[in-house]
């Protein structure tokens, strides 16, 4: 059975092949084990002395676990700078910062690899197209959510507007004041009959 970390490790190592500085950053964490959990899938890696990645043994305890929901993965791939918003980090903060830094350079790796494979202009266009495609799920979710909220507010009269909420609050305050006044009158009447 193929280890789920084998292919991502090969891709990462290929991207890191000409990046001495980034490999040196990872090499500072040599021997560290980290796990990436994306939806139902998980892959565990170990950092080698030369800063490359390899699949970790199944029994290895990770020093760091990075968890991202499946629905958020395209947004992270599109814009790795949103790492802090999209990824739940558990464990070694220093290693997490190094992986975050590595992730923010990933779009550049992709552009370079596409440029090597298809030429600089076509490679850049393909990378831009890929980023646009990765943004579609988030864009669609935002637009659908806004449309549903607009429908509920304007058409179905299910959701309350801000003005409706303020009017209800005013009415509740008025009713509360009237109940307090009525309670005071009842107490005065009860006191006068004693």
Long-range contacts of 139-148 (CB under 8 A, 24+ apart): 141/71
Helix (H) or strand (E) holding 108: helix 106-118
At residue 166, the pLDDT reads: 81
pTM, whole model, 2 decimals? 0.61
At residue 107, the pLDDT reads: 63
Grouped pLDDT means (10 residues each) for the chain, 194 residues:
75 82 92 90 92 88 92 80 90 92 72 72 74 67 76 66 78 84 81 76
Superfamily of 6-104 according to CATH: SCP2 sterol-binding domain (3.30.1050.10)
At residue 113, the pLDDT reads: 66
Instruction: Quickly list DSSP for 28-51.
Output: TTTT-EEEEEETTEEEEEEE-TTS
At residue 30, the pLDDT reads: 94
At residue 164, the pLDDT reads: 74
Give me the residue spans of the domains in the chain: 6-104, 161-194
Residues 45 and 5 sit within 8 Å (Cβ to Cβ): yes
Place of tokens 């495609």: 133
Joined together, the tokens standing for residue 43 give: 């892959």
């Amino acid at each position: 059975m193929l280890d789920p970390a084998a292919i991502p490790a090969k891709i990462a190592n290929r991207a890191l092949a000409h990046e001495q500085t980034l490999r040196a950053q990872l090499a500072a964490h040599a021997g560290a084990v980290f796990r990436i959990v994306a939806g139902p899938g998980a892959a565990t890696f170990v950092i080698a002395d030369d800063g490359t990645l390899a699949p970790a043994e199944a029994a290895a305890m990770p020093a760091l676990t990075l968890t991202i929901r499946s629905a958020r993965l395209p947004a992270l791939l599109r814009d790795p700078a949103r790492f802090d918003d999209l990824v739940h980090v558990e464990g070694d903060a220093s290693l997490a910062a190094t992986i975050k830094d590595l992730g923010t350079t990933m779009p550049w790796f992709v552009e370079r690899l596409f440029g090597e494979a298809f030429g600089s202009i076509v490679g850049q266009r393909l990378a831009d197209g890929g980023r646009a495609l990765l943004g579609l799920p988030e864009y669609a979710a935002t637009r659908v959510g806004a449309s549903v909220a607009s429908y509920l507010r304007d058409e179905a009269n299910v959701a309350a507007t801000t003005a409706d909420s303020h009017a209800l609050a005013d009415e509740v305050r008025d009713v509360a004041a009237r109940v307090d006044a009525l309670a005071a009158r009842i107490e005065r009447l009860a006191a006068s009959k004693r």
